Amino acid sequence: MAEPHKPEIRGTIIHGSESTCSIDVPAPCGLIIFGASGDLTHRKIAPALYRLRKNRLLPESFFMLGTARTAMSNAAFRETLRAAVQESLPDEFRNEIWDSLADSFFYHSIAYDDAAGYQHLQKRALELTHRFGTGGNLIFYLAVPPAVFTDVVTHIGQVNFSDGVREGFRHIVIEKPIGHDIDSALAINKTLRAVFQEHQIYRMDHYLAKENVQNILMFRFANAIFEPLWNRNFIDHVQITASEKLGVEHRAGYYERAGILRDMFQNHLFQLLALTAMEPPAEFVAGRVHDERMKVFQSVRPFQLDRLLEHIVLGQYGRGSMNGVDMPAYREEHGVARDSMTPTYAALRVMIDNWRWKGVPFYLRSGKRLAQRCAEIAIFFKPVPHLMFSRLMHDQIEPNTLILRVQPNEGMSMSIQVKNPGSRLCLNTVLMDFTYPRSVVLSEYERVLLDCMQGDQLLFVRADAVTLSWELLTPLIRATESDAYPKYFPNYAAGSSGPVEADALLSLDGRSWRPL
Ligand code: BG6
């Protein structure tokens, strides 16, 4: 039988008044990027700076001082960044905007373990501070591999970057991975805290800066109609997905040691979990929001290591085909061991033992080389309590679902039941759908840079959350890396929806995944 037609109700964005939607331009500042010759600076940071300038969100008084080991002139540095930005933003790139921005870009090569190099760097930064009138405000951005975090942070601490300037803030941005397990995470946080205070440290999780992730709290707490339903009385279960079509790309060196649980769960998926499950903070300010996110981690039921297979399914992609193109297996990717046991997929059942969520499973899944690129939070409501239509209808009534789409097509949709026009009694599931227009979405890196310039830590991760998420996951990861967890890899084909065992994880509970 043909699928019944499902009408779609499309939403439109209603722009609010200036006061609710405007973004303040931050105060003047300088940005020192460690690792400026690398991929992150080229693919993410430079395009974000370009878009901020284009949208007049970057302070007029601004400079960026790039540092890395490679020797390079200012001109060569600017040229490589120009090419990178042009490639990232082909439709938006304008020479005049680029030229005005590139005039404030400088390069200074440094050996990360050479103390004298940091003295020179400080002098250079001071000279630029005066020349651009940035008032001493300075951001250190660590776009370097974790192996040199400690060197860089310790040396920054040994040089007086306040020398010659009376005022100004010092902020440091640090990207994941923050540690490999609980011990290394504690060590990194200790190094950071030896030099900076917590209010100066911006631990970045780029998922928190995604437009629709920020929207989760607005959606939950700025609409009176959802919060009364947001609990175990009305919600059957929650599915949080971050699936990728990409494979390991050129990052085997890092990924082979990390695997999916460290790469995606300890940070991104756990943060989505916290935002979905947290209590309303009294105020929408960083400290209060961080406190509530922390309480979710404190309520997560520790994973039962003697019953691993009931809570977690791991996978690794084998050969497959995507859009008619043959894809190699993970073990055939460049830099990956031929007998690698690194998981590229995981599905995990998480229980939150608190008043609101007792008994409601949160199913988290993430994987590489899956059928679709999709990040979403799907709230499955309970079925209606009594089927008054049951004598006339054969089927069950589909329970309502609410999907918060993180990407692509940032937005949300809600499935509801309506009567089909015409026929006497026939229900149909329709979607109320809202999609953000692309033009209003700030990229994650634009958001992160802006917030760090403005001193707003709301979208960053506090030290205690890093510690607690590692405390929860480290025993689980160690157990899955031991023989206690039998692995028959590869166990899913590139381009598929993941291992069949992941379906079993839900079917044991009488549920099924939303199709990818
Ligand atoms: C990164 C992971 O943090 O997030 C990558 O290290 C992953 O492995 C990426 O591909 C996914 O981010 P996004 O924004 O593309 O969903």
Out of 155, 237, 268, 311, which one is annotated catalytic?
268
Give the ranges where 229-307 is alpha helix by DSSP (H): 252-260, 270-277, 286-299
Q: How much distance in Å is there from the Cα of 295 to the middle of ligand 1?
A: 25
What SS3 class is residue 363? strand
- pLDDT tens string 128-177: 999 999 999 999 999 998 889 999 999 999 998 877 777 899 999 999 88
**378: its two tokens:** 């799907």
Atom of ligand 1 nearest to the CA of 406: 16
Q: Report the alpha-carbon distance of residue 204 to residue 127 in Å, rounded.
A: 29
Question: What residues of the chain score a pLDDT lower than 50?
Answer: 1-20
Residue pair 107/64 in contact (Cβ under 8 Å)? The answer is no
* Euclidean distance between CA atoms 93 and 44, whole angstroms: 15
Report CA(407)–ligand 1 centroid distance (Å): 12
Name the closest-CA residue to atom 5, ligand 1. 263
| Separation in Å, CA 91 to CA 87, 94, 334 | 9, 9, 32
Close Cβ partners of 46 (under 8 Å, ≥ 6 residues apart): 81, 84, 85, 88
**What is the model's pLDDT at position 393?**
64
Dist. CA 178 → ligand 1 center (Å): 15
**Is 386 in a helix, a strand, or coil?**
coil
pLDDT at 392: 62
Give yes or no: 394 in active site. Answer: no
Which pLDDT tens digit goes with each residue over 459-479?
A: 999 999 999 999 999 999 999
pLDDT value at residue 426: 77
Distance in Å, CA 146 to ligand 1 centroid: 17
User: In ligand 1, which atom is closest to the CA atom of 207?
Assistant: 14
Protein residues with CB under 6 Å of any ligand 1 atom: 176, 206, 244, 263, 375
Indicate which atom in ligand 1 lies nearest the CA of residue 246.
Answer: 10
Q: Any idea how long the chain is?
A: 516
Ligand 1 test: best mutation among 178, 206, 260, 267, most atoms within 8 Å of CB?
206
Residues 6+ apart with CB under 8 A from 386: none
Q: How many other β-carbons are positioned within 10 Å of the β-carbon of residue 221? A: 16
Q: Is the peptide bond before 490 cis (omega within 30 degrees of 0)?
A: yes
pLDDT attached to residue 21: 58
| Ligand 1 atom closest to Cα of residue 242 | 16
Question: Using CA of residue 405, residue 406, residue 409, residue 412, what is the dihedral sign?
Answer: positive
Which pLDDT does position 6 carry in this prediction? 42
Residue nearest atom 6 in ligand 1 by C-alpha distance: 263
Burial (CB count <10 Å: 0-12, 13-18, 19+), residue 175: buried
